[in-house]
Amino acid sequence: MIAGNRAINYLRISVTDRCNFRCKYCVPSSPFKVIEHDKIARYEEILRITRLACDLGITKVRITGGEPFVRKGIFSFLEKLCRIDTLKDVSITTNGALLNRKKIRMLMDMGIRRLNFSLDTLDPSKFARITGRDRFNKVWDAIQTAHTMGISPIKINAVALRGVNDDEIRAIAGLTLKYPFHIRFIEYMPMGDSDVEKQQQILTREIQERITETLGPLEPVKLEKNDGPAKKFKLDGAEGILGFITPVSSHFCSECNRLRLTSRGTIRPCLLKNYETDILTPLRDGADDLALKQIIESALTQKPLFHDLGSRTPKDLPISHMTSIGG
Ligand code: SAM
Ligand code: SF4
């Protein structure tokens, strides 16, 4: 599939909008609506859409959410997903709190070798304040266990926020001196009705300055094909890599190879634009494979060439939470 000169080969699937955490940059502290159970795509429906997307050129899938591991039956779904023979790569983004040695072994036995964890602080009490849950030790244990079991690369996503965890930018970046992890700082994106204020957003340039002031220069690392949007660097003598994901300060739309399937069964060609095409209703109404493929292809024609999240007054901020779209 091609969209404006971009070959689209990467599908991100949100399997649920539910989550066991309440990260302050992701969901609001006030009550919000979750998707009704019968409106969430069932596993067999997700598998059918994925197979069709693979026929159209998708070769990589990332499972996300919400928190993927809160959904019942996730392991047998992942097993079936990994058996799609045209799919070359299956990876997962998780908060890690529900993972342990046995579950990581099950993932490895299916052929999953790449996990992204989210971790915004190394301080257990701050972790509880950011995520609303006192689970730092569980998450850190899961990351260490995955590392010792040979999951590689382990990527850790961190959202730096002024007045929340910006005092730890150095410590988080410094993990790469000790571990072969890829630590990626993601710029906070204003989504839905999150409680985070615009002034708390810290852009990549400032994060990089804070790192270089204390840890020394950042040496650029050559990007490999299919490397994704992170700009990569290494600190002198580091085991791991530092990545910076800059959706706000420098959009990467011209290289974006992604398509999203949301938990409510819509195809979303861009995380940051509100266009979505419902594929679940036609599927449930009996549409054949050809018709469903046409829906995927026509959704792609709406993939924009840029977004304006970095402008002072962005026009159409995403109205959904990241949990329902799948970050
Ligand atoms: N629950 C899983 C997790 O936290 O890794 C997967 C879903 S979560 C929505 C995926 C990623 O989106 C996380 O790394 C999180 O840090 C990021 N994220 C969520 N809200 C964000 C926001 N407003 N701006 C930037 N990144 C955000
Ligand atoms: Fe849940 Fe992930 Fe959002 Fe945190 S970032 S609330 S763990 S979906």
Based on the number of CB atoms within 10 Å of its own CB, is 162 exposed (0-12), middle (13-18) or buried (19 or more)? middle
Q: Is the beta carbon of 189 within 6 A of some atom in ligand 2?
A: no
CATH architecture of 2-325: Alpha-Beta Barrel (3.20)
Does the pLDDT of residue 244 top 80, yes or no?
Answer: yes
pLDDT in tens, 251-290: 767 778 889 999 999 999 887 777 899 999 999 999 999 9
pLDDT for position 142: 98
Q: Is the beta carbon of 67 within 6 A of some atom in ligand 2?
A: yes
pLDDT in tens, 33-44: 899 999 999 999
Alpha carbon 1 to chain centroid, angstroms: 22
pLDDT in tens, 128-154: 999 999 999 999 999 999 999 999 999
What mean pLDDT is reported for the chain?
91
Q: Can you tell me the distance from the alpha carbon of 36 to that of 14, in angstroms, rounded to the nearest whole number?
A: 15
pLDDT for position 327: 64
Does the pLDDT of residue 99 top 80, yes or no?
Answer: yes
The answer to whether 41 and 289 are in contact (CB under 8 A) is no
DSSP three-state, residue 16: coil
pLDDT in tens, 169-210: 999 999 999 999 999 999 999 876 778 988 899 999 999 999
Q: Per-residue DSSP letters for 89-138?
A: EEEEEE--TT--HHHHHHHHHHT--EEEEE---S-HHHHHHHHSS--HHH
Please name which of 53, 57, 49, 46 lies closest in space to residue 6, comparing C-alpha atoms: 57
C-alpha 294 – ligand 1 centre gap (Å) = 30
Question: Ligand 2, atom 4: nearest CA belongs to which residue?
Answer: 23
pTM: 0.93
What is the domain partition of the chain in residue ranges?
Answer: 2-325
Sign of CA dihedral 250, 253, 256, 259: positive
Does the pLDDT of residue 108 top 60, yes or no?
Answer: yes
Q: Can you tell me the distance from the alpha carbon of 57 to that of 10, in angstroms, rounded to the nearest whole number?
A: 9
Token look-up 């580091």 returns 238
More confident residue, 225 or 127: 127
Does the pLDDT of residue 49 top 90, yes or no?
Answer: yes
pLDDT in tens, 150-164: 999 999 999 999 999
Q: Is the beta carbon of 189 within 6 A of some atom in ligand 1?
A: yes
The answer to whether 298 and 264 are in contact (CB under 8 A) is no
Token pair in block for residue 182: 């890829």
